[in-house]
Amino acid sequence: MSKVASEFQDIDIEKERKEILNAFKGLLRATKDRSREDTRMIRKAFDVAVEAHKDMRRKSGEPYIYHPIAVARICVEEMGLGATAITCALLHDTVEDTHITLEDVEDLFGSKVRLIIDGLTKIPEVFDENASIQAENFRKMILTISDDIRVVLIKLADRLHNMRTLGSMRADKQLKIASETKFLYAPLAHRLGLYSIKSELEDLALMYSEPEVYSKIENSLKSTKDVRNRFIRRFVQPIKEALQFEGYVFDIKARTKSVSSIWRKMNAKGIPFEEVYDIFAVRIIVDTPTELEKPDCWRIYSIITDFYQPSPDRLRDWISTPRANGYESLHTTVMSPTGKWVEVQIRSKRMDEIAEKGLAAHYKYKESKSEESKFDRWITEIRDLLENPDANALDFVNEFKANLFADEIYVFTPKGELRVLPNGATILDFAYDIHTDIGDKCIGAKVNNRLVPLSYQLLNGDQLEIITSSKQKPHDEWLRFVISARAKQKIKSSLNEERKTIAQDGKEILERKFKQHNIRLTAENITFLEKYFSMPSVTELYFRIAKGKIDLIKLRDIDAVHGILNGEKKTNNSTKDKHEKDVYPKINKSEDSIIIGEDFKNIQYQMAKCCNPIPGDLVFGFITISEGIKIHRNNCPNAEHLLSKMNYRCIKARWQSKDLVERVAAIQIMGIDNIGLVNRLTEIISKEHNVNMKSISFETEDGIFDGRIKVLVYDTDHLEQLMRKFEQVDGVQRVTRWDTEEDQHPQESH
């Protein structure tokens, strides 16, 4: 997070010193089972950090050293990490922000601490407008996963504290950091099994990206808290008495869903807060020896179902088959006497610690090699991703994120060995999971003794036997059949090798043609042809030539018309180059702000079609490559992508208060089909609000209608008035703002 040199005059330095020392003592108290040597190392790290950061303050005005102490405390209390991680957390910003070097760190604390600090130190911003610094930093951090997982854990602790103290930052910075957190860091925390940290990161990201939504759900949770607590007390009472009678040592907790998770459910199902049935879950934690965990959890399940009817579709057994990140628990959903479904989670004390503290606890309890492999499979996936030196940082982040989010399925080899694959995996994903050679030569498989094609999607419990042929080799279309990062990377790698061989033939063909037409073979001429045929690279140009997809008979005509291949004149810059040269230098992204309705430095800007912003919406500008600046809503479907991965191209924007131009807004109306309903809605639009309608469409199925209306309004107040009128019409159940589906996935032309 940003730091500023101290400019605060009236500060009681002595008082601050005492407070800093107290914060450090609090950290030491939280650190359990430390040796005398550990204490010495932590004290030395604290002394080095205090001295290095002595003239630095955070945006809030407090001494900077509070930040590394807070990060170290998160590592201890919320992740269960030890002395080395605490040392690194205290030092994590010293190399990046102070005179301390990596060599100094190694001299003082050894090579292991140096390795971790190096992973935590950002890449210097040698600015390339076409690369995302955030993506490069994220890639560097992930590179160290296979060396020391603590790099990622400390980085998550750092991000969590930054999010907790984000209030002192500028609004545009808050939005960018929140988007990046939601896009990358929350999924990473989830994959590492840090569920409470993942939930808090998502909640804080929502609080800054959509403050109104966050506030509304938080208030709804507060107002229903007493009713909820009374319901939970009544629900758990019979279970409690039965478990006590059986002699179990246990704890029962009620866990309320996070705000972000409630918002996700509301969005996914298109329902209001009141209709989210699983607002909370009841968790039963039993204190039992490892060998009795499984039978005891199932016995407790049996006791619960004596009182309440379970839903057969909602039973999740992660005790027999834990998730890849080590999570173990038995989940069931039962019907309460009041007609509400309630989720119940049953787990041992050991399982609960792994669920709360994730990876650190997993390794604390790890005993066997087989248990190690369950988690380390994911580390192997990451290594496979990193093996591809040609992938750029943004591609890497996309692949990595897809891997983070994937749910898992469990399949078996012919000998009964269990393999964990992402949900939606195919025969090819399985083949590459076994070995690269088996993947490259795969022609099909037998699933449960039935012959299936390469594109067959695997189901939980399938047993597979791969069929190979020495004549088989990977094809382009295989990339459509796979979803795992490992399979994609291996197929791309094989295809690239083959393409390079074919491209070499294409290069020789082009050289012969140049000689034939008496055209000079220069880099400039090759680059001209690359642009003329709109090829993304020179390798692709050669490849297409070899495949006969580029007609080289045109060479003579091109030369006659342009006179370029013989060097008579230079090519003009493309629109893209011109735009980048003209637009980027004019904009100071930290200072400038577009006021919509006024001219902005003679640079064209327009409303993005993917979210149709209207006055009153919170917005930002995105500098496109060839279409000027596009204005997006902060909660646009593309906002998270743009703000987290390409925030170096984002700029602040706000509405001019007197800007009264009509703009298109789209509304979705759902409800029960009534005669005359459409007439009533159109009457509201035309008569009561004097609003112009652009388009209207209604679909009815089984008595339920779904209407989509596009109208011209002045601002969000104007739109909300209209939506409130619609809500009052008989039969209408829900009225929401609807994002049009065009342009939902920003391409490079953005």
Active site residues: 96-97
Per DSSP, the three-state class of 424 is: coil
Count the neighbouring beta carbons within 10 Å of the beta carbon of residue 30.
13
DSSP 574: P
- Residue 405's nearest CA partner among 419, 422, 429 is 422
172: which residues sit within 8 A by CB, 6+ positions away?
620, 650, 652
Neighbour-count burial of 532, counting CB atoms closer than 10 A to its CB (0-12 exposed, 13-18 middle, 19+ buried):
middle
Looking at 517-609, list the stretches that DSSP marks H as alpha helix, in order from N- to C-terminal side. Answer: 523-532, 538-546, 554-562, 575-583
- Pairing assessment for the beta strands 330-335 and 56-58 based on DSSP bridges: unpaired
Q: Per DSSP, what are the bridge partners of residue 623?
A: 629
Q: Per DSSP, what are the bridge partners of residue 526?
A: none
Measured distance CA(499)–CA(417) in Å, rounded: 36
Measured distance CA(112)–CA(227) in Å, rounded: 52
Looking at 59-145, list the stretches that DSSP marks H as alpha helix, in order from N- to C-terminal side. Answer: 66-77, 83-91, 94-97, 102-109, 111-120, 133-143
User: What are the two backbone dihedrals, phi and then psi, of residue 579, each rounded to the nearest 5 degrees?
Assistant: -60, -45
- Count H helices and E strands in the chain, helices first: 31, 22
Tokens 């359990």 belong to which residue? 32
CA 79 distance to own-chain centroid: 21
Beta carbons of 708 and 666 less than 8 angstroms apart: yes
DSSP state letters, 728-749: TSTTEEEEEE---STT-S--TT
Number of residues assigned to the chain:
750
Beta carbons of 206 and 183 less than 8 angstroms apart: no
- With helix as H, strand as E and coil as C, how does 663-730 read? EEEEEEEEEECCCCHHHHHHHHHHHHCCCEEEEEEEEEECCEEEEEEEEEECCHHHHHHHHHHHHCCC
Tokens at 180, concatenated: 């990046």
Beta carbons of 296 and 314 less than 8 angstroms apart: no
529: which residues sit within 8 A by CB, 6+ positions away?
510, 535, 541, 558
Tokens at 62, concatenated: 């407090």
Measured distance CA(596)–CA(397) in Å, rounded: 33
551: which residues sit within 8 A by CB, 6+ positions away?
none
Measured distance CA(5)–CA(462) in Å, rounded: 61
- With helix as H, strand as E and coil as C, how does 478-507 read? HHHHCCCHHHHHHHHHHHHHHHHHHHHHHH
Cα angle value 389/391/395 (rounded, 5°): 150
Beta carbons of 284 and 239 less than 8 angstroms apart: yes
Tokens at 689, concatenated: 């609000």
Tokens at 479, concatenated: 């990339």
Count the neighbouring beta carbons within 10 Å of the beta carbon of residue 377.
14
Tokens 């399949």 belong to which residue? 411
Measured distance CA(26)–CA(363) in Å, rounded: 26
Count Cα atoms within 13 angstroms, Cβ side, for 3: 18
Measured distance CA(567)–CA(477) in Å, rounded: 40
